Each structure stands twice: as C-alpha cells, then as structure tokens.
Chain A
Amino acid sequence: DTGVSQDPRHKITKRGQNVTFRCDPISEHNRLYWYRQTLGQGPEFLTYFQNEAQLEKSRLLSDRFSAERPKGSFSTLEIQRTEQGDSAMYLCASEGARRETQYFGPGTRLLVL
C-alpha cells in the first residue's frame, strides 16, 4: 500500500504526559500537512511542510505542540504536557506535484484522561 500511513492509530494518555505521532506520506510527495479534528467538527489546519521546511503554522498550534520533518520524508507531531482539550483525531495529508489534491492518512485518535 503506497498511501499515507500514521502511527499509532490510537493513543490514550494521562494529562501532563508527552505524546508523539508519526506520519509517513506518499513517497514522492514533498508537501505535508497536519490537521486536527474534534468530535462533530471538520478538520482544522495545524501546520504545513514543504520538504523539511515548516512554512506555516496555525494559531491553533500552541507552544506545547512541535512538528518536524527531518530529511523531508516522514513527519512527527509532538504534544508536550497534554491537556484534556487536546483529545482529538490528528490527521496527516500529503500533496504531490499536482497541487491542491491532498491525500489523507487514517489519523491518530488521541484521548487525554
């Protein structure tokens, strides 16, 4: 399968713990997005990478959140000192040379207790 993959699919953690999620985009795609989806809502943009450069960050991305894309391949999203309000589905999408068509991964569902 050459689609976008995310790991883990589910994560339960206690408030105050740190968590890290991984996204592996479609191999030839050099653009990568992270979105957050809360229950009953549509996804909201968090951040954007072109190759290894993080070019955009949403106001939703507080200083407890950090994202990286070393070597322009996979990406990680880390949340430090998790809060109950961080409970959501975290979605990754990749985009290739054909702009404006984003392919989504299955998401990581985070529950903060």
Chain B
Amino acid sequence: GNSVTQMEGPVTLSEEAFLTINCTYTATGYPSLFWYVQYPGEGLQLLLKATKADDKGSNKGFEATYRKETTSFHLEKGSVQVSDSAVYFCALSRYSGAGSYQLTFGKGTKLSVIP
C-alpha cells in the first residue's frame, strides 16, 4: 500500500535559519506529492505540490522537488520566519480506481521558529 514517512519533530530553529524537512514515500506507479501546513487550531492548507518526477513545487519561499529515484520530496526554505511555526504534512495521492484521489499523509513535523 501507499505510505509516507517524514522526519520526526519537533524541529526548533532560529529566525532566518535554513529549513529542511525530509519526506520519503512508498507507492506503486506515479503518485502526486504534496506539502500541507496546519497552523494551530486550523485546518490544512496546501503549501505546494508536484505531479511528476523532477517537478519542483514552490510557494511562499518553500520548495520541494519530486525525486523518483530516491522516492523523496523534501521541503526546504532558505530563511524561516516566526510566522512559519506550524505543523507540516507530506502527502501523496494516487487515483484509487473507484473515483477518488485520496491523500495518504505522513505523521507531520512540528516546526517552531524562535526570534
């Protein structure tokens, strides 16, 4: 079956530090890959996505590249801000065959950025 493994948190960084959150996946075929962010008390927001190998998703200074050879989709940001403090989820989707593109999520990585 499909699965997503992401680095365990929590991760604490100082403002302006470089961020990497590792994510690897197991899936048959060619899934699409996503990063979602969840701020305290809120639902999930799509941060970025990539639909095929070597695609780079980017948004708000965050980037991730779909690496099929290493089955990875690591999230990076060059300079984090306090407002980036949240829980980050890596996810994949594949067509189920019955109509849906249900998402399979990792366990999430909590990021705290201190001034």
Q: Which residues of B contact A104 (CB under 8 A)?
A: 36, 43-45
Q: How far is the CA of A70 from the CA of B55 in the complex (A)?
A: 39
Q: Are A100 and B100 also in contact (CB < 8 A) when A43-B44, A106-B42 are?
A: no
Is the beta-carbon distance between A42 and B45 smaller than 8 angstroms?
no
How many chain A residues have a CB neighbour from B under 8 Å?
A: 27
Give, as a whole number of angstroms, the nearest-CB distance from B57 to chain A: 12
In A1-31, the 8 Å CB interface with B consists of: 4, 6, 31
Q: Which residues of A contact B106 (CB under 8 A)?
A: 42
Closest chain A residue to B96, Cβ basis: A56
- Please tell me which stretch of A44-52, A61-69, A73-81 contacts chain B, meaning at least 4 of its Cβ atoms lie within 8 angstroms of it: A44-52
Is the beta-carbon distance between A91 and B93 smaller than 8 angstroms?
no
Is the beta-carbon distance between A45 and B102 smaller than 8 angstroms?
yes
Q: How far is the CA of A55 from the CA of B96 in the complex (A)?
A: 11
Chain B residues with a Cβ under 8 A of chain A: 4, 32, 36, 41-46, 49, 51, 89, 91, 93, 96, 98-108
23 pairs, CB–CB < 8 Å, chain A vs chain B = A4-B43, A31-B100, A33-B103, A40-B107, A40-B108, A42-B89, A42-B106, A43-B44, A43-B89, A43-B103, A45-B100, A45-B104, A48-B99, A50-B100, A55-B99, A55-B100, A56-B98, A56-B99, A56-B102, A102-B101, A102-B103, A104-B43, A105-B43
